[in-house]
Amino acid sequence: MAIAELEYHAIIAELVNVDVINIHVGGVYNDKPTAMERFVANFSRLSKEVQDRLTLENDDKQYNPEDVLQLCHVLGVPFVYDVHHHRCTYGGPLPEEVITQTSMAAVSTWKNREPLFHISTPAFGWGSTNPRPHHQMIDYTDFPVCWKSFCVPFTLEVEAKAKEIAVLQLIDALINDGVVVRSAIAAVEESWDTIEIDTDSKYCRKRTRVKISKMSLGEVPPSPKPRTRTVPTHQVTGKRKPTTTNFPADQPSMKAIKKNNDK
């Protein structure tokens, strides 16, 4: 990301009172150590407004948690731990003790601020050739056990295609598992058993009513059917529809006019 873009984000963040600008480290350019040194050098070119908000996240291909933690300690910036990306670079599900150690290492970089973690589920499962794309929902088995009774409160960003629906189902699963969840949505759920969520489709926008208590993990409400319209045959085949002209009764037809002219 260009420095000018980060400075622009800092201006917006200041206006809306946001304290995190999260980015990945970037490319390795066939030489990761040199790329990391260049990242450190360019960090000094950022304004204080950007530096105070910048956080670094491990990605799913090149910079694993160890790499990012090294940069975070050098620069004094927080580490946003993405457990899905960690699993991708590892090659599949991680030992629970590794997730615990990495989570604790991430917490130490946040100092007096609340840590931010990311979670997602592979769209095609961990057995697929490409586990990086995100699923619509969160498979509860992908939620780290250590996070259920973590030593400090943390903010969790759910990266799922179904957005709020995925968040609601994850909250439901956590609460049923006895996990304390601090969420505005959960507070609403205590008084309402139905929540309306706007869902977008390619064709139309509609409201989907989600029954929290009856939805099972992994269940996705059906997408709205596209609107259809009748298309004239000539528009489908590309052939022009023949046209007819109705002349008034007292007006001769073109055929009659031509016949008179030939006389």
Dump pLDDT digits (tens) for 96-138.
Answer: 999 999 999 999 999 999 999 999 999 999 999 999 999 999 9
Gap between the Cα atoms of 148 and 178, Å rounded: 9
Domains of the chain plus CATH, in order, are 52-189 (3.20.20.150)
Chain centroid to CA 194: how far? 24
Residue whose structure tokens are 């409160």: 153
Please give the pLDDT value at position 258: 53
Q: Is the pLDDT of residue 187 over 90?
A: no
The number of beta carbons lying within 10 Å of the beta carbon of residue 24 is: 18
From the DSSP assignment, how many helices (H) and strands (E) are in the chain? 10, 7
Check residue 173 and give its pLDDT. Answer: 95
What digits encode the pLDDT tens for the residues 17-33?
999 999 999 999 999 99
Q: Is the pLDDT of residue 233 over 90?
A: no
146-156: average pLDDT: 94
Residue 161: is its pLDDT beyond 50?
A: yes
Amino acid at 149: S
Q: With 60 as the cut, is the pLDDT of residue 186 above it?
A: no
pLDDT for 214 equals 36
pLDDT of res. 185: 54
Provide the pLDDT for residue 254.
53
Confirm if 241 and 234 have CB atoms less than 8 A apart.
Answer: yes
Q: Is the Cα torsion angle 12, 198, 148, 89 positive or negative in sign?
A: negative
Tell me what the mean pLDDT of segment 59-81 comes to: 98
Q: How many CA atoms lie within 13 A of 51 on its CB side?
A: 13
Q: How many CB atoms lie within 10 A of CB 221?
A: 14
- Residue with the larger pLDDT of the pair 159 and 204: 159
DSSP label at residue 122: B
pLDDT of residue 2: 87
Q: Which helix (H) or strand (E) holds 208?
A: strand 205-211
Decide if 232 contacts 240 (C-beta within 8 A).
no
Across residues 59-78, what is the average pLDDT?
Answer: 98
Say if pTM beats, i.e. exceeds, 0.85: no
pLDDT surpasses 60 at 209: no
Residue found under tokens 């969840």: 181
pLDDT(213) > 70: no
Q: List the end-to-end C-alpha distance of the chain, in Å, as a whole number.
A: 83
Per-residue confidence (pLDDT) for residue 182, from 0 to 100: 84
Residue 255 clears pLDDT 60, i.e. is over it: no
Rounded Cα distance, 131 and 59, in Å: 13
Q: Is the CB of residue 136 less than 8 Å from the CB of residue 220?
A: yes
Angle between helix 184-191 and helix 164-176 axes, rounded to 10 deg: 70
Q: Which of 87 and 208 is assigned the larger pLDDT?
A: 87
At residue 260 the predicted structure's pLDDT band, cuts being 50, 70 and 90, is low
CA–CA distance, 29 with 4 (Å, rounded to integer): 22
- DSSP code, position 142: G
What percent of the chain stands above pLDDT 70?
69
As a whole number, the mean pLDDT across the chain is: 80
